[in-house]
Amino acid sequence: MKKLTEAMKQMLDAMAFADAGEYLSGREKSRILRQCSGTIETAPATPEPARVRAGSNARRVALYLGNELPPEVMDYVIETCSRLRHELTVLTFQPENTGSALLEPYKQALEAAGVDMEMVKLSGEPVSGLRKYLRGRPEVAFLACKDAGYLGRSYLNGTQSKNALPVPVVVVTTAAGGSGTQGQPATEENGRGADVA
């Protein structure tokens, strides 16, 4: 069993360093490969890429914010933005002070995850206002919403066309609305409580 454990450790170490040379120039790679046997030079530490500020053309995740913001929705959005290195755009029809108050408890988590956030106040009908905004934003990867809200329920109940918006819609299952549709349990994506409409 010790041999198997050691072999697995070596494989995991090799996988961890497999892409270490990806950020080296051709000369640096050649220098490392030409070294004499014995000592192994590790790749120099690469600087952290500069963070792209909101308002730029960085890839973004849009969050449709209604009159409440369940923690499951925000946890999903923060984790996804952090993992994909996307920024966050919060879309709301609520007054700005209401939106800010709902987002206030999550500002530290957003900063800790390195997610830059901007809030955009929309006007008009929800679906047409969202469609109008998203149509001109190719940087938005998808729109997230809660299952208990107007938009989420309309997708889960099938009353909203799947092509109603120009981006994919992820409906995040919350504790309050996790019962699914028509008595069926809500399906989950990767066990995280998200349905893609």
pLDDT, position 187: 37
**Which structure tokens are listed for 159?**
């009353």
Domain that holds residue 1: 1-47
pLDDT, position 2: 73
Q: Are residues 79 and 27 in the same domain?
A: no
Question: Is 53 within a domain?
Answer: no
Q: Are residues 31 and 98 in the same domain?
A: no
Q: In angstroms, rounded to a whole number, what is the distance separating the alpha carbons of residues 110 and 146? A: 19
Q: Are residues 114 and 146 in the same domain?
A: yes
Q: Are residues 15 and 110 in the same domain?
A: no
Q: Are residues 75 and 142 in the same domain?
A: yes
Question: Is 52 within a domain?
Answer: no
Question: Is 77 within a domain?
Answer: yes
pLDDT, position 52: 41
With CA atoms as reference, report the closest residue to 84 among 72, 96, 94, 76.
76
Question: Is 55 within a domain?
Answer: no
Question: Is 68 within a domain?
Answer: yes
Whole-structure pTM value: 0.61
Q: What is the pLDDT along the chain (197 residues), one digit of tens a residue?
A: 777 777 777 777 666 666 666 666 777 767 766 764 445 555 555 444 444 444 456 899 999 998 889 999 999 999 999 999 999 999 999 888 888 999 999 999 999 999 999 999 998 888 889 999 999 889 999 999 998 888 888 888 888 887 889 999 999 988 765 544 333 333 334 444 565 55
Q: How many residues does the chain have?
A: 197
The domain tally of the chain equals: 2
